[in-house]
Amino acid sequence: MSLIELIAGVEAHEATLTVFNADPAVTDELREHFADRNVRIVDDQTASGPEEFAVLARDGEFVTAVTVDELLSRPGEGETAATGVGVAESDEGGGESRERGGAGDRVGRPVLDHLDETMFTSYSREDMVAASREIEDRAWRVGDGELHAGFQTLDVLTGEADTYDLLGEKERLDVHAYAADEGDAPDVEHYTVHVGETAEIRETWFVAYDGGGYDEAKCALLAEERAPGEFYGFWSYDPETVDYIIDYLTERYGGSEQTDDGGATV
């Protein structure tokens, strides 16, 4: 199963969030919040039972239930929504606040945290960069294992060369970058570049980290650019999904490596 087929497979399993006994304005707010996710929001009323609660189901099976108050909770005053530390500043204490792929606040987190694969449907390049940074930061902090990232083209990879050289300096972190042969290859010192002559490398954006031996640290982001600057895909914390992505990349593109003279072997 190719990367694009994997995206389509996750997309086909749309989740449903049914909001019970709530004001229609609440349902509208949730629809707006989940507008870029593969989650259908419906409302319903019961003759008896608690007020304002929601049930998440996927493929007809119960996933979780949560109160509307919990679902709509946001950070309190002075509390940051999500904190990510840029790779270059990780050990210097220069942390900066940023959202994870446009979902940094807490709205919807009790639902999203129960989905191993969370689909998104219209991420911009800025959203993709923010989500990618979270995975890169995790790999940096654990400092062990394998990190695999796709940049679509060599031109794009060149713009990230310094960041990935820094990641590759981690002694126990094995870093792999993938790109189509468009543009000039960057000078590479501490990571491996795989030049893929396939449409899926040109059309997909991915970052996958194998957790460095810890299943709970495994994570991946995989998306397809279906329109210029618009990405459709998912992020996953499911160990089997992360393993599949890394195994596929290793088997499919592991033999296509940039040589010291800037060429490529296939």
Question: CB neighbours (10 Å) of residue 50?
Answer: 11
| pTM score of the predicted model | 0.72
Q: What is the mean pLDDT of the chain?
A: 82
For residues 178 and 170, what is the distance between their CA atoms, to the nearest angstrom?
19
Question: CB neighbours (10 Å) of residue 148?
Answer: 25
CB-based contact 135:209 (threshold 8 Å): yes
Phi, psi of 91 (to 5 degrees): -95, 0
Output the pLDDT for position 116: 58
In tens, the pLDDT along 203-245 reads 999 999 999 999 999 999 999 999 999 999 998 888 999 999 9
Q: Where are the alpha helices (DSSP H) in 151-234?
A: 154-159, 161-168, 199-203
Q: State mean pLDDT over 40-63.
A: 89
Highest mean pLDDT among 43-57, 77-91, 141-155, 249-263: 141-155
In tens, the pLDDT along 179-194 reads 999 988 888 889 999 9
CB-based contact 38:11 (threshold 8 Å): yes
User: Is the model's pLDDT at 110 over the cut of 50?
Assistant: yes
